[in-house]
Structure 1
Amino acid sequence: MPGGKSKKTLYTIHNKASLISGGKGYFDRLEQLINTAKQTIHLQTYIYDDDETGNKIAEALMAAAKRGVGVYMLLDGYASQHLSSVFINMLKDAGIHFSFFEPLLRSKNYYFGRRLHYKVVVADAACCLVGGRNISNRYNDMPGTPAWLDWAVYTEGEVATGIQDVCIKRWNNHCGKAERITATAMPVYKVEDECHIRIRVNDWVNRKTEVLQAYMQMFATAQEEMIVMSSYFWPGKKLVSKMADAANRGVHVKLVLASISDVKLAKYAERYMYRWLFKKNIEIYEYNKNVLHGKIAVCDKKWVTIGSYNVNNISARASVELNLDIMNEAFAATTHKQLSDIINTDCALVTSAIYGKEYNFFEQLFQQAAFILLNIIFFVFTFYFRRRRKHAA
């Protein structure tokens, strides 16, 4: 491929990428990104808590705003609605531009359940963090309490310009006219390294299903192995079919799922699917060291997708999600090793025999009921009269 960006693949080429798994490592890098920003910071996330972690990041953001950096915060209007007016006014008084994405009910937009689920921070169109961590103590390593298992990727280079464009468009779509901003030319941040990265957005209402299509493509093209980690696993029929096809042609499919879940109904429903997965010779590993919140997959040690997207119908059709696809063998090898180490040391293999001993007839019946109930809840809270004719990134 030629230098710059390939129109065919949408991959940017000149980038650096590093994988971050720990809570402290993530928030240390986030503070560094904020503290070194010179012109702009965009932070868009699902959950922002007014706790030790949230306050520390807020202090860094306010300091950046006071030194003249344009700071823009867009938080989900449901998951972050608990923030007090005192906290929000403190941010605004420091010069931070603040807005919520979609109040809980917006009937004129034809839906009830759409949420801003992605977790993105980009500075100066030069460096960014994309992953699954919210801004909260739960996602940080606190004294005596390790962070939930999650992932992020820190990148420098061309892809950061695209991430900033996505953030500006999202901001302009969900703030008042007076707060709208225009992308300005930024100094080109040159990276000599080559690491192919593309931005994938899922926003079903606006006819974007790029992350779902990436997973479909992964399963369709995998030749040897697929490892998928998902905190809430509940795939739709099309992806289920691709998974089955991959397993049938001999691809070694490994799913790393939660043993300890913060959403118990979802876990019961997820386990209902295990019997089908066993029949397709798909391996199931339950992570039992802590709460699993990560969303990441690696295909044939060559291709990684990482971000906010869970392999379920909510991410596919109800939430706004953002992942990065990284096509780089060194990065994929690192990711594969870390996932394999977790499988080997912190997970329990669930087989059909183990499942049958662990859950009796009535427990399996309850799992089925949970699966049915989850589908009903999904239908009620994500009912769309129609998808929009035009889409916005």
Structure 2
Amino acid sequence: MKLRWHKGNSVRLLENGEGFYPRVFEAIEAARSEILLETFILFEDEVGRELQQRLVAAARRGVRVSMLVDGYGTPPFSDGFLAPMAEAGIEVRSFDPGAQPMGIRLKLFRRMHRKLLVIDGATAFVGGINYSADHLLRSGPEAKQDYAVEVRGPVVGDIHRFVLDQGVGDAQGDATAASDAQGAAETAFIVRDNQRHGTDIEQVYREAIRGAKRRIVIANAYFFPSHGFLTDLRGAARRGVDVRLILQGEPDMPSVMMAARTLYRQLIGDGVCIREYCTRPFHGKVAVVDDEWATVGSSNLDPLSLSLNLEANLVVRDRGFNGELSASLEQLWMDHCEEVTLEGLDQRPRWPVPQVLLYHVLRKFPRWAGLLPAHTPRTVTLASGGQAPERAASTLASPGH
């Protein structure tokens, strides 16, 4: 795996829905020819409705709009939500949807977990923020802490080509358009799929960890990486690197937090500092290494993201961006996190099975979980070219698989 680095990019950090949605909506309003969007979750709430209205307005003024949502993360759209998009000519597709008996979503594995938006082949957004009101602080104590980036410059060409290659938008369209914006950041776009790039995101993390000289800060919602990843992290701490993990303390999925906690004792024993973010659910997938390297994206550091789901991250080499993200994480570390200590671990309830055994069982999860979906993932067209939703055709396209 070799990263394709591009110089001369401008990268803007966007924190939470308050930072992300205004920039996205502004870019959609300014679109002249094309909007390509991929997202795991799009809810019919205040955020989803505003997105829908802006996409419809763009399509009606002649912009080609294509959207792919995940069939597990995104519930079925109501006719009232989908019909205006169909009438405006927006292409709407769902990745591997399935029956939902009693409202239960069953197809958990191998999800399209990316969050990407490309405007006119010139501006792109990459990150972990979905289109749902629970990314807004005003939504209450369950509001998620999360990050994304807005990027302009040569790397947008790679993101644009990738999204078109997945069948989002016109595959015959111009995949070479790119912004003429100039910036100081050197960036690379990286994905995880179930074909040629199965371990790329993990390997990029591990390379940065092995090369770290002074500090590593990883803030990740779901942390249960491979044995090799943990070995690299512990090795960095043992050679004197300041290694810090910001993990969930008020999770939206408690079982994931419990799995991560099985790793704490060994990590702390080797000098890794761990704090749990306890203000509200943490949904970020970000990291900084030393003074220049950083990444923001959709990939968690757990078996689903590292071995099964379709993911996308942006890797950035730039002191200014690194410093901005570092400052945000430092504020979380100091003001919103609780330190995990060995003494505190001794006071917590113990698992009924040995933690070493549990770890080895859980880390084999991708091997057997990947066998469970006895079908070929597909995309289903919900709306296309003005076609009414109820007559939209199904396709067998399978981006990333």
TM range (shorter): 0.7 to 0.9
Query: 1:224 maps to what in 2?
Result: 214
Query: 2:324 maps to what in 1?
Result: 334
Q: CA deviation at 1:112?
A: 7.5
Query: 2:61 maps to what in 1?
Result: 67
Instruction: Give the direction of change, closer, same or farther, for the CA distance of 1:383–1:295 in structure 2 (3 Å limit).
Output: same
Partner AA of 2:352 in structure 1: L
Are 1:24 and 2:12 an aligned pair?
no
Partner AA of 2:369 in structure 1: F
Are 1:130 and 2:126 an aligned pair?
yes
1: CA distance, partners of 2:285 / 2:261 = 18
Contact residue 206 and residue 392 of structure 1 kept, 8 A: no
Q: CA deviation at 1:141?
A: 3.4
Are 1:242 and 2:232 an aligned pair?
yes
Query: 2:31 maps to what in 1?
Result: 37
3-state SS of paired residue (1:56): helix
Instruction: Give the direction of change, closer, same or farther, for the CA distance of 1:84–1:378 in structure 2 (3 Å limit).
Output: farther
1:354 is matched with which residue: 333, 338, 344?
A: 344
Partner AA of 1:77 in structure 2: G
Stretch deviating more after TM superposition (332-341 or 84-93): 84-93
Partner AA of 2:150 in structure 1: Y
Aligned ranges for residues 154-169 of structure 1 at < 5 Å? 154-169=150-165
1: CA distance, partners of 2:258 / 2:145 = 20
2:146 is matched with which residue: 150, 153, 160?
A: 150
Instruction: Give the direction of change, closer, same or farther, for the CA distance of 1:237–1:375 in structure 2 (3 Å limit).
Output: closer
Q: CA deviation at 1:306?
A: 0.7
Query: 1:91 maps to what in 2?
Result: 85
Q: CA deviation at 1:332?
A: 0.6
Are 1:277 and 2:267 an aligned pair?
yes
Query: 2:369 maps to what in 1?
Result: 381
Q: Write 1 or 2 for the structure with the bigger share of helix.
A: 1
2: CA distance, partners of 1:298 / 1:61 = 34
Partner AA of 1:72 in structure 2: S
2: CA distance, partners of 1:251 / 1:117 = 32
3-state SS of paired residue (1:339): helix
2: CA distance, partners of 1:78 / 1:263 = 16
3-state SS of paired residue (1:115): coil
1: CA distance, partners of 2:246 / 2:354 = 19
3-state SS of paired residue (2:321): helix
What RMSD over aligned residues (CA atoms) do the two structures have, in Å? 2.7
Partner AA of 1:142 in structure 2: R
* TM-score after normalising by structure 2: 0.85
Q: CA deviation at 1:254?
A: 0.3
Partner AA of 1:192 in structure 2: Q
Are 1:120 and 2:109 an aligned pair?
no
* TM-score after normalising by structure 1: 0.87
| Residues 207-264 of structure 1, C-alpha deviations (whole Å, 9 max, x = no match) | 4422111101111100111000010100011211111221121111100001000111
Query: 2:104 maps to what in 1?
Result: none
Query: 1:11 maps to what in 2?
Result: 5
Instruction: Give the direction of change, closer, same or farther, for the CA distance of 1:30–1:8 in structure 2 (3 Å limit).
Output: same
2: CA distance, partners of 1:295 / 1:240 = 17
Contact residue 204 and residue 316 of structure 1 kept, 8 A: no
Query: 1:108 maps to what in 2?
Result: none
| Residues 73-100 of structure 1, C-alpha deviations (whole Å, 9 max, x = no match) | 0011211143234423332222111111
| Residues 43-74 of structure 1, C-alpha deviations (whole Å, 9 max, x = no match) | 10101101111001110011001111111100
2: CA distance, partners of 1:46 / 1:218 = 27
| Residues 124-162 of structure 1, C-alpha deviations (whole Å, 9 max, x = no match) | 111111110111111123365673100011111112221
Aligned ranges for residues 246-261 of structure 1 at < 5 Å? 246-261=236-251
Contact residue 287 and residue 295 of structure 2 kept, 8 A: yes
Instruction: Give the direction of change, closer, same or farther, for the CA distance of 1:367–1:100 in structure 2 (3 Å limit).
Output: farther
Q: CA deviation at 1:384?
A: 7.8
2: CA distance, partners of 1:64 / 1:145 = 34
Are 1:202 and 2:192 an aligned pair?
yes
Query: 1:304 maps to what in 2?
Result: 294
Instruction: Give the direction of change, closer, same or farther, for the CA distance of 1:28–1:159 in structure 2 (3 Å limit).
Output: same
Partner AA of 1:30 in structure 2: V
Instruction: Give the direction of change, closer, same or farther, for the CA distance of 1:39–1:215 in structure 2 (3 Å limit).
Output: same
1: CA distance, partners of 2:276 / 2:340 = 7
Partner AA of 2:322 in structure 1: A
Structure 1 runs not aligned, ≥5 long: 1-6, 106-110, 173-178
2: CA distance, partners of 1:187 / 1:272 = 47
3-state SS of paired residue (2:11): strand
3-state SS of paired residue (2:5): coil
**Number of equivalent positions:** 370
Instruction: Give the direction of change, closer, same or farther, for the CA distance of 1:377–1:208 in structure 2 (3 Å limit).
Output: closer
1: CA distance, partners of 2:363 / 2:229 = 16
Contact residue 14 and residue 150 of structure 2 kept, 8 A: yes
Contact residue 6 and residue 154 of structure 2 kept, 8 A: yes
| Residues 323-355 of structure 1, C-alpha deviations (whole Å, 9 max, x = no match) | 000001111111111111110111111111122
Contact residue 141 and residue 280 of structure 2 kept, 8 A: no
| Residues 190-221 of structure 1, C-alpha deviations (whole Å, 9 max, x = no match) | 12323101001011344442211110111110
| Residues 301-325 of structure 1, C-alpha deviations (whole Å, 9 max, x = no match) | 2100110011112111100000000
Contact residue 266 and residue 374 of structure 1 kept, 8 A: no
Instruction: Give the direction of change, closer, same or farther, for the CA distance of 1:89–1:296 in structure 2 (3 Å limit).
Output: same
1:365 is matched with which residue: 330, 337, 352?
A: 352
2: CA distance, partners of 1:360 / 1:112 = 29
